[in-house]
Amino acid sequence: MPFIHVDENLIAMRLDIALSNHETIQSRSEAKKIINAGNVLINDKSDFVKAKYILKAGDIISFNPLPKVALELSPVPYPLDIVFEDDWILIVNKPVGVVVHPAPGHPKDTLVNYLLHHTKLSTVDAIRPGIVHRIDKDTSGLLVVAKDSKSHEFLAKQFFDHSIKRNYQAVIWGIPESPDGIIDKPLGRHPVDRKKRAVIETGKPATTHWKMLESYHHLSLIDCQLQTGRTHQIRVHLKSIGHGILGDQLYGKFRIFARNYPDHIKKILKEYPSQALHAKSLGFVHPESKEWVEFNSELPYQIQSLITTLRLDASQTGNQ
């Protein structure tokens, strides 16, 4: 049973608000439903557990989530970019704009629907068949998908143990002062904006290794290797060191110093339609052969085209 220990950050907060901050709960409305269903205990007691209960120092909130409601998953034809496939796994290169799995309000036209049209998937999670890990809608790149339960559980353990190798490339605002670095900052749900994650002391440990690949006057191309895999980890970590990702509407919006670029480049940057972040490589132990395998992908055309333009400007102005 999940639990929350009330510390100084939660004292005097309403129960429903505090519960909605738990990473497994999506909204305050869901938190209220859990409370009203009698699924919440405070200090192992159910007496007087109401949404408006004001938390006290030392309170321990324990709860059972609401049962998941299975969505009807329909196969949908789609031209998948399959990098590798065998009887146990599939490696797919997800394009920008595709949601990984169905959810309330988005029941179809997701990667899961497209995969179901192509092959069988593991049923460890009936709501997200085959999905061992996710990347954001506006991030492109590699995902490993499990075709059977044994493979799914084998891969999931590697993600849990942080033994999976994952490298991303991103175009970021500014030029870092050092050629590489490690960002080791805990991440959790943003205290105000539920769509965001933030660096918070009470968050889960998160570590990102990064190194500079190229620089272009006011932007840089970097490689990031994840030691952990928290929600929005790279995006939040890079913002926390002052180098948000180009096109990231939550964490990396247009930077004013880019006005120094020529007008045609400023236009490209302002109109860049997604975040310039790509899951470029993925390595893990294969669930059947037990051998280490590694897969790579090219940056999508959109990012490649941007880099070509930035390289040309940097070479012409001598600011590379």
> Domain segments of the chain: what residues?
3-63, 82-161, 165-317
Per-residue pLDDT of 6-39, as tens digits, reads 888 788 989 988 888 787 787 788 889 899 988 9
Higher pLDDT, 10 or 76: 76
Domain 82-161 has CATH 3.40.1010.20: no
Q: Verify whether residue 136 is a known catalytic residue.
A: yes
Residue-wise pLDDT tens digits, 255-275: 877 888 899 999 999 889 899
Domains 3-63 and 82-161 share a fold: no
Minimum mean pLDDT among 61-75, 165-179, 188-202, 228-242: which range?
Answer: 61-75
Fold for 165-317, please state it. Answer: Pseudouridine synthase (3.30.2350)
Report pTM.
0.81
For the chain, give the secondary structure using H, E and C.
CCEEECCCCCCCCEHHHHHHCCCCCCCHHHHHHHHHCCCEEECCECCCCCCCCECCCCCEEEECCCCCCCCCCCCCCCCCCEEEECCCEEEEEECCCCECCCECCECCCEHHHHHHHHCCCCCCCCCCCCECCCCCCCCEEEEEEECCHHHHHHHHHHHHHCCCEEEEEEEEECCCCCCEEEEECCEEECCCCCCCEEECCCCECCEEEEEEEEEECCEEEEEEEECCCCCCHHHHHHHHCCCCECCCCCCCCCCHHHHHCCHHHHHHHHCCCCCCEEEEEEEEECCCCCCEEEEECCCCHHHHHHHHHHHHHHHHHCCC
Per the prediction, the chain carries an average pLDDT of 90
CATH, range 3-63 = 3.10.290.10
5: pLDDT confidence band, cut at 50, 70 and 90? confident
Tell me, what's the pLDDT at 319?
A: 55
Check 81, 87, 125, 136 and give the catalytic one.
136
The reported pLDDT for the residue numbered 259 is 82
